[in-house]
Amino acid sequence: MNTDGKTYKKFAQARARKSPVLKNCAAAFASGGAICAAGHGLRTLFSSVGFSDADAGMLTSSTLILIAVLLTGIGVFDTVAKHTGAGTLVPITGFANAVASSAIDSRTEGLVPGVGAKIFTVAGPVLVWGISAGAVYGVIYYFVTALR
């Protein structure tokens, strides 16, 4: 079938399933809010048992990462994310899921050539560009504040 771009676009749009945008947004808002509320509850719990604010924040992040990795490992995270969308994928839990999923998917190839080489296939670009952008913005910020 030899078609031009416009014809193919019409063909694809006619057969594409319509996305329930409002429902998806509500689910993402609710699930993301639930994760944030759970994080706030954990931080409050850690602070109430005597940890400093900095330590409570670190323990909260670590606990959310651990929960996300465990749920990814037993196959629950993907099922939940399928129904809640970006609400579970945007916070720190989504990053933990991306790293854990890459490790799980490549474990059959061996520890070093599989898991070791491919664990950051999804998260690697996020790290590279996040660190690079932070460095560039830091230099810009330095020069902007130095010129005042």
pLDDT tens digits for range 89-125: 777 888 888 888 777 777 677 777 766 777 777 777 7
What six digits make up the tokens of 28? Answer: 């993402």
Mean pLDDT, residues 30-51 taken together: 95
Residue type for 105, please?
D
Domain ranges, ordered by start, for the chain:
20-146
The reported pLDDT for the residue numbered 70 is 94
CA dist 141 and 44 (Å) reads 33
CA dist 24 and 18 (Å) reads 12
User: Model-level pTM?
Assistant: 0.70
H helices within the chain, ranges in order?
Answer: 5-15, 21-48, 53-73, 76-84, 86-89, 92-105, 117-118, 123-146
Point out the least confidently predicted range of 11-15, 77-81, 133-137. 11-15
Residue 1: pLDDT above 70?
no
CA dist 122 and 101 (Å) reads 9
